[in-house]
Structure 1
């Protein structure tokens, strides 16, 4: 089989896009109303602060979301010290997009939820049997899945509300972009845009981050959402490499958000 330069580029872009995903962030229909229900915390009953063990029971587990695989998060920065930003006020966004609690949490945990795909006709063929066009289509189709980093972090006192506000303020204040450094590697984000949140929990805000991923591909956009459930924040960061390769729009995976919101109630 003769592979085109486009196919080779496609494989390279997949790795490049994933690298961007793990150190930056992650609705094609934007909205100025980015918060869901924003009831005042002063009128709400005191919320529980969870331990790590309790959060691990509350976060999504394998078998709880049909059509998805839930597994331990790997490849993301292990500590907050590994994630820095050119502007400190933008750091909550970078943390939310790298499987870290966006604030000073009492406890936190994370998993990766990956959409499962049914096998295609080309999946049963060997690489040698694939025609040039089939190889490119097969590569793109195989990567056209949503991968979502889900994080739960629990806070004491008013810290959850304050942390959520820091995220909300950063979406607005960092709209012109910022630079993220993780594991010694820098990534320039050129734009942050508020998007329509899921409306789950007490408050929710979603945003898109745009950055350069490859000279041929140009800019790519990834999506994230932060939801407050009492004293607990749920963070979602979704990447779809196939969509990035073909420059098609995608969103934070609503199925994952809904499933996690139901479990945390």
Structure 2
């Protein structure tokens, strides 16, 4: 699926404004150790997955959200080929314990697996549906959510979630990251309230230095359902400078998890 020119404008501006690296993978963490961002869809719902077999990348592609899965008046689904990093090799953190957070934000697998797929969900301005507008001012009003799916053998998904949770605890004071040759400084991480969906969920907000012009906050959520992990990262350029992170649309999370068995 090809991205419309209007959406390309929005993505291009976002890359410049958030310093490319933020889109290709920011990081996260929280020094407070709060359990607020660590949830389970149901009390004690976590189930043993030691015998689980990972889905293939092709199978994950079929599970990604499509236009038919969402309200066409509100959302447009596009592939992430021109906005998301191609592999973990192109996204690095200066602290190894923060890398799972960087990867999750970049729609890459936070754990050890090659089975992955990703795309983007754009919120249509005014809820009118159709292609994103060509006018750049309208394009800036689009809330984009990067969605990543990854699948794991055995208990690999649980281990990946632990990497994320441990990273949130270890990287609260911030870190540096490099993506596509661009360097970004994450100044701090704060645990955020997660959706509570799936078997486990972790959410965090990262404050990113905007080239000395203050900071901007961005939210990431990681959810495990069985041996599949879904990652969600949203940003809205119109919200920059508001002091609040862009919220990840709850209906996007619900729709994506609904496709995962």
- TM-score bracket, normalised by the shorter chain, equals 0.7 to 0.9
Task: Map Cα deviations across residues 48-105 of structure 1 (whole Å, 9 max, x no partner).
Answer: 5211121111110123111111111022221111111111010000001112111111
Which residue of structure 2 aligns with residue 134 of structure 1?
none
Deviation at 1:249, TM superposition (A): 4.4
Q: Is the 8 A contact 2:208 2:216 kept in 1?
A: yes
CA RMSD across the alignment:
2.8
Which residue of structure 2 aligns with residue 4 of structure 1?
none
Name whichever structure is richer in helix by fraction: 1
Which residue of structure 2 aligns with residue 229 of structure 1?
225
Which residue of structure 2 aligns with residue 91 of structure 1?
99
Deviation at 1:252, TM superposition (A): 2.0
Which residue of structure 1 aligns with residue 83 of structure 2?
75
Say whether 1:261 aligns with 2:257.
Answer: yes
* Cα pair distance change 1:146/1:119, threshold 3 Å: closer
Q: SS of the counterpart of 2:154? A: coil
Q: Is the 8 A contact 2:120 2:147 kept in 1?
A: yes
Greater Cα radius of gyration, structure 1 or 2: 1
* Cα pair distance change 1:42/1:215, threshold 3 Å: closer
Deviation at 1:248, TM superposition (A): 4.5
Which residue of structure 1 aligns with residue 8 of structure 2?
none
Matches within 5 A, 1:1-265: 15-17=16-18, 19-25=20-26, 32-37=35-40, 39=44, 43=48, 46-66=51-71, 67-73=74-80, 74-118=82-126, 139=137, 142-216=139-213, 218-265=214-261
* Cα pair distance change 1:178/1:117, threshold 3 Å: same
Q: Is the 8 A contact 1:197 1:206 kept in 2?
A: yes
Task: Map Cα deviations across residues 1-34 of structure 1 (whole Å, 9 max, x no partner).
Answer: xxxxxxxxxx9888322625313438xxx97322
* Cα pair distance change 1:97/1:13, threshold 3 Å: closer
Matches of 2:226 and 2:14, distance apart in 1? 39
User: Does 147-156 or 243-252 show the bigger shift?
Assistant: 243-252
Q: Is the 8 A contact 2:192 2:203 kept in 1?
A: yes
Matches of 1:51 and 1:249, distance apart in 2? 33
Which residue of structure 2 aligns with residue 3 of structure 1?
none
Q: SS of the counterpart of 1:261? A: helix
Matches of 2:60 and 2:162, distance apart in 1? 22
Alignment TM-score, normalising by the size of structure 1:
0.79
Matches of 1:145 and 1:110, distance apart in 2? 19
Which residue of structure 2 aligns with residue 8 of structure 1?
none
